[in-house]
Chains A and B, each alone.
Chain A
Amino acid sequence: MIDVEEFLLRARAWLKENLTPLPQGVSQSDRLEWDEEGDLSRELQRLLFDAGYAGIAFPEEYGGRGLTVAHQKAFADEASGYEMPLRFDIPTLTILGATLLDHGTEEQRKRYIPAMLRGDEYWAQFLSEPSGGSDLAGCLTRATRRGDEWVINGSKVWSSGAFRSSYAICLARTNWEVPKHRGLTMFIVKVDQPAVQLARIQRLNGSREFCQEFLDDVVVTDADVVGEVDDGWTVTTTLLRHERNATSGGSPYGNLRSRGPSAEPRYDLVSHAVQAGLTEDRWVRQQLAEAHILDVVHGHLIARVLAGTRASTLSPHSGSLLKLFTGTKNMRRGTLAIDIGGADAVSWRRRPSGDVTEGFGEQYLSRQARCLAGGSNEMQRNIISERLLNMPRELGTDAKVPFNEARRNRPQRGS
């Protein structure tokens, strides 16, 4: 296997030759917002794939390079100043590609993973439902046997980027006679078909990434089952673990630089302090340092959890520590930004001259997004206390009774 340094040298030359550096003052996440349809990412992903830089840590038989996490990380760091196909990171590669590696059949892996890596197909997650948030296993979407097929009916929500996705992974109830965790099955569903109706949800910051779907007699076959029938919860648990890692910067499968988002130009408190003449203010200096410390410590924690889970000295559920850190850090950072920004954080000059505080206020309004998406802070605290510290599980009155006898919300539509 090519060693990391040699690999990095080649990657460096290739990146310089083939990719466009990000414009001054533009971060990778800025580009993400501007590439809503994901077409730029499709092109870039294809470029990486053709050059052997896509799926660096994915096995070769599924279109990857079969190298190590260290190779992937080195490449991501090196590429952090370039236009990169970040749209493919979450959830396509880091969550769903990783889950198919763990639970997909050989046919599924061969059919779907290379298409992700080539930049041909985006994926979405049909997991949450309008009737349930944290209680994912309380899923009401049903898949019913009809001859050799399954027919899916129900409604899904919070599925990021479904409008650009070719496929989705979809959790549905296949057995109502058993307790809730034991009657679920995970399916692969084609998104672009008349039986799937899709609506986009606008977030308070204007983003239209989130979608809601209405599944009306969606037909799939046994070949579309991921894992075992009625064992979809096992697949879900794996998927959520990959999700926590991915959204906290701890995934080995993505293109994004795997560290805390410290140097985001649109969130640059230091530049604002300099421009606003606050650099001698003792209190502002303390706050600038605190924001920096949070980012540095976050980076250290990511490195520790990645190393510890790889070496099995930490539980595989340790991604929840990262997720909780990300959520609580975001809250604190939001406060620091709006404090330091003062009036400039709530009103600012329009681009192109622009103010560095643009974004401070918006970030503050939606700072809880990271405390909610992919499992709320409260769910992470449950996981940490129950899985890492072995404290007793929360009492769930529905976990032991057949699902059709458990108390639950009424379905809002479709099942």
Chain B
Amino acid sequence: MIIEPNEQQELLLSTTRQFLAKEVPLSRVRELGGTDLGFDRGWWKQAAELGWTSFLVDETQGGLAEDGFDLVNLVLIAAEMGRLVAPGPLVPVNVVAAALSRGGTDDQRKEHLPGLVAGEKFAAWCVAEPGNPFGSAGVRLKATRAMGKIVLDGVKSPIEAAPFADLFLVTARLPNGSLIQVLVPADAPGIQINELDNLDLVRRFGEVVFRDVTVSVDAEVPHESVDDELRRQLEIAAILHCAEMTGAADRAFEFTLEYLFDRFSFGRSLASYQALKHRAADMLMRLEACKATVEAAACACQERQESSSMLASVAKSWVGDAAPEIVQECVQLNGGIAVTWEHDVHIYLRRVTVDRNIHGTPADHRERIASYLLQPRKLVEAS
């Protein structure tokens, strides 16, 4: 994923890869698919010890990020998870932890960060609403302030990790039209969680209904600008999903290539047919472009460049289109066996398809880019 990883990144990469291969090989992922949680709580704690929950949390708050934000490391982990279609709520936990690290009050951090970082507590990131457009424009869940309380009314869906989360970070809209982010414990009265089915074997999603859910005003996360913060959260999620899709497509391409070398038809290996070689070449080109795009977006986001929000949308659009198409090419190249439950490729296809459509489809992100391109002053410098 990263073209010139430094020593520390190399180490993280090999540790993560070994850990995943040992603990959650695909056979284990298949088993976990039949469980409620989709993963093992003890395993997630081990993962947390390897840094999976710490890279977006500042050192001074118990995290591992020297200047409070080390997205590139997390991107490496997400890509490795994609390679083995690993379980675990990487995106919601990290996005919420990052939001608290950056914008939370001391009390909020003290109360929630240690559990999240240790892998003992889980958070769900509640932005999406059913039937509404992606991003801030789609946030309609009502928040009203009354007598030292905040009251929430509305529905969030589909929300990853909702069925087992301890804590929700909810983006809501105040009567004056502005946005607010509020921390809500999962057991607050008025919350109803309806578990959803989804394409992925080990990811879990839910619909969260808020009916007059009342929390103290202290539950508000006091961001300087909720719009900017939400944009950044969406950016982080998009980049992590893209990294995961790229890792998944990368691995599916690898085992498909092995198959092409091993499988003989009409007295020659499939890898020797030019029609198939040319398709493999196209796949590699798109895959390398995915890696390039994810790295560029991750670095821009980490360095807080102004372009990073658009680069994240470029990535979600490009990778979101390319990765599922690459994996489906893998299905075609593996032949009939690849449409069976027994073959692993569908596990990959499930994951990339979910990642493609969650938090903005490629078309949604193209619409964002179009808005940006058509701003008068951006017409020239748009890149």
What is the interface of chain A, defined by CB distance below 8 A to chain B? 262-263, 270-271, 273-274, 279, 282, 285-286, 288-290, 292-293, 295-301, 303-305, 307-308, 311, 313-314, 318, 321, 324-325, 328, 378, 380-382, 384-386, 388-389, 391-392, 394
Contact = CB atoms under 8 A, between A and B. Distances in A.
Chain A CB count within 10 A is highest, among B281, B295, B296, B380, for: B281
Contact of B311 (A289, A296, A391): A296
B379 A313 contact: no
B296 A262 contact: no
B366 interface: yes
A255 to B, nearest CB: 20
B369 interface: yes
A307 B292 CA distance: 11
Contact of A288 (B4, B278, B289, B373): B373
8 contacts: A289-B317, A293-B369, A296-B311, A299-B383, A308-B3, A321-B284, A382-B277, A384-B284
A286 B291 contact: no
Nearest to A262: B383
A293 B311 CA distance: 9
Contacts of A391: 260-261, 271-272, 277, 280
Chain A CB count within 10 A is highest, among B271, B311, B373, for: B373
Interface of B: 3-4, 257, 260-261, 269, 271-272, 274, 277-278, 280-282, 284-285, 288-289, 291-293, 295-296, 311, 314, 317-318, 363, 365-371, 373-374, 379-380, 382-383
Given A271-B379, A285-B371, 19 more contacts: A263-B382, A286-B366, A292-B314, A292-B383, A297-B292, A297-B293, A297-B314, A297-B318, A301-B293, A305-B288, A307-B4, A311-B3, A313-B4, A321-B284, A381-B282, A385-B280, A389-B277, A391-B271, A392-B271
B274 A292 contact: no
Nearest to A324: B285
A311 B369 contact: no
Given A321-B284, A324-B281, A391-B272, A304 B367 contact: no
A307 B299 CA distance: 15
B142 to A, nearest CB: 29
A301 B288 contact: yes
A263 B367 CA distance: 20
B293 A270 contact: no
Contact of B383 (A271, A273, A295, A325): A295
Given A300-B296, A314-B3, A382-B277, A392 B272 contact: yes
B271 A325 contact: no
A245 to B, nearest CB: 15
B373 A301 contact: no
B284 A286 contact: no
A314 B285 CA distance: 13
A134 to B, nearest CB: 13
Contact of B285 (A273, A286, A288, A325): A325
Given A288-B374, A293-B369, A297-B289, A381 B318 contact: no
Contacts of B365: 289
A301 to B, nearest CB: 5
A386 B383 contact: no
- Majority DSSP secondary structure for residues of B touching A: helix
Contacts of B368: 289
Contacts of B282: 324, 328, 381
B296 A303 contact: yes
A298 B293 CA distance: 9
Given A297-B318, A384-B285, A378 B278 contact: yes
Nearest to B368: A289
B242 to A, nearest CB: 12
A300 B281 contact: no
A300 B3 CA distance: 11
A241 B274 CA distance: 22
Chain A CB count within 10 A is highest, among B291, B314, B370, for: B370
Contacts of A304: 3, 288, 291-292, 295
Contact of A381 (B260, B278, B314): B278
B279 to A, nearest CB: 9
B290 to A, nearest CB: 9
B296 A285 contact: no
A59 B81 CA distance: 45
Contact of A293 (B3, B280, B317, B380): B317
Given A286-B363, A297-B289, A300-B292, A389 B280 contact: yes
Contact of B277 (A298, A308, A381): A381
Contacts of A380: 281
A300 B2 CA distance: 12
Contact of B3 (A279, A313, A328, A382): A313
Nearest to A318: B288
B301 to A, nearest CB: 14
B323 to A, nearest CB: 13
A387 B366 CA distance: 35
A318 B287 CA distance: 13
Contacts of B257: 389
Contacts of A305: 288
Contacts of B271: 391-392
A286 B371 CA distance: 10
Contact of A289 (B288, B367, B379, B380): B367
A300 B300 CA distance: 12
B307 to A, nearest CB: 9
A209 to B, nearest CB: 28
A270 B373 contact: yes
B285 A385 contact: no
A296 B314 contact: yes
B382 A394 contact: no
Given A296-B311, A303-B296, A304-B3, A386 B277 contact: yes
